[in-house]
Structure 1
Amino acid sequence: MPYDVSQLLKMTSAQLDDCFKSGAPGPIPNGEAKGTAIVAPGTVFTKETAAFISIFTWQGKTFDAQAGVLRNRISVFGISAIVAKVYQGASWFDNKECVVLDYSETSMVAHWVRDEIRLISPGLYLGLVYWKKDRLIHFALEF
């Protein structure tokens, strides 16, 4: 079943986890992706929180698949910052293949952050954010 971001914003955390589990590792993406943070999933606050974050904090990621890196687009100005290494690897969530976005060697600010993404629909990745080994939130990337 193909998904879109509006559907993801209506899901509970458990439903998002199931969606991530059933996703494919997909190729390492290339180019600019619109990001949507999915905070407080399954509540009335999810959609409004995502909109606020998109405007003021984080707009998405720009991938360079050939170089194996990405840069986040942050702030109201969409500044390209906070670099991560990108590679295929085992997910901390279920030990299955995913695309890992690893900040441990590239960012002083996000040194303890690791993201994992899987392709859930054409052009749409669902992601998990970890702080150290603790899972924080889900997010979507639309290409």
Structure 2
Amino acid sequence: MAYDVPQLLAMTQVQLDDLFRSSPAGEIPNGVAHGTAIIAPGTKYTESIAHIINLFGWQGKTFDAQKGVLKNKVLVFGFEAVVAKVYKDKSWLDGEECIVLDYSDTSLIAHYIRDEIRLIGPGFYLGKVYWGKERLIDFCLQF
């Protein structure tokens, strides 16, 4: 099944977790991805929160697959900042392979953040954000 952002924003946390668990890691992506934060999944607030975050906080990520790094696109102007290492490893959600976006050695701001992504469709990834080992939010990336 092909997914889109409105479908993900309408899903519950259980549905998002099930989709993540049932999806392959895929290849480490390369290039610019538009990002959408998924906060309070399955509630009437999810879409509004995602829109506000996209306008003022975070717009996506730019990946360099060969170097195994990415930069986040942040603030109103989409500055590229907050670097992460990118590699494959076991997911903290289910122990299966995923693509890890690791900020522990590359960012003072996001030192305790770890993202995990999996491919849910062509050029479309679903992600989980952790602070330490605690899950925070979900997000998606469209290339």
**What is the letter of the counterpart of residue 118 of structure 1?**
R
The alpha-carbon deviation at position 107 of structure 1 amounts to 0.2
**Separation in 1, partners of 2:24, 2:51:** 27
The alpha-carbon deviation at position 83 of structure 1 amounts to 0.1
Residue in 1 aligned with 2:28?
A: 28
**Separation in 2, partners of 1:5, 1:123:** 13
Q: C-alpha offsets along residues 20-62 of structure 1, whole Å, 9 cap, x if unaligned?
A: 0011100000000000000000100000100000000000000
**What is the letter of the counterpart of residue 18 of structure 2?**
D
Residue in 1 aligned with 2:138?
A: 138
Q: Percent same amino acid among aligned pairs?
A: 64
**Separation in 1, partners of 2:138, 2:109:** 20
**What is the letter of the counterpart of residue 125 of structure 2?**
Y
**What is the letter of the counterpart of residue 8 of structure 1?**
L
Q: How does 1:82-97 map to 2 (within 5 A)?
A: 82-97=82-97
Aligned residue for 2:10, secondary structure, equals coil
Residue in 2 aligned with 1:66?
A: 66
Aligned residue for 2:67, secondary structure, equals coil
**Separation in 2, partners of 1:129, 1:25:** 15
Q: How does 1:12-51 map to 2 (within 5 A)?
A: 12-51=12-51
**Separation in 1, partners of 2:119, 2:131:** 22
TM-score (norm 1): 0.99
Q: How does 1:123-134 map to 2 (within 5 A)?
A: 123-134=123-134
- Is 2:4 the partner of 1:4? yes
TM-score (norm 2): 0.99
Runs of 4+ residues over 4 Å off in structure 1 = none
**Separation in 2, partners of 1:5, 1:83:** 25
The alpha-carbon deviation at position 6 of structure 1 amounts to 1.0
Q: Kindly tell me the number of residue pairs found equivalent between the two proteins.
A: 143
Structure 1 unpaired stretches of 5+: none
